[in-house]
Amino acid sequence: MFFDKKGTELSMNVIIIAAIAILVLVILAMFVFRSSDRVDKGTGCTSLSGSCLPMCGGDYPLHNAGFDGSCGTGSICCMPIGVKSN
């Protein structure tokens, strides 16, 4: 039997290109997941002059429900009077 070299070269090229593509996708995924953490820190409750508390009152009387997700379980985002929250 005779083996065709072009067929094996083509499959090796496909394997190499697929491996490079997977590597690029993994690197992009790492950048996306790391940047999501920074976005949350930049637009979270505490970065907007708020405070994560179990209940609003005292220096932070206003409840800002739009940013409760950045506080975690059991806490809500409370804002002081006179602070704009986008």
Domain ranges of the chain: 5-79
CA angle 80, 68, 73 (to 5 degrees): 120
CA pair distance 74, 6, nearest whole angstrom: 63
In the three-class reduction of DSSP (H, G, I as helix; E, B as strand; rest coil), residue 63 is classed as strand
Q: Which H or E run includes 38?
A: helix 5-43
pTM for this entry: 0.45
Per-residue pLDDT of 48-82, as tens digits, reads 778 888 888 888 888 887 776 778 788 888 888 87
Closest listed residue to residue 62, CA positions, set 71, 72, 73, 49: 49
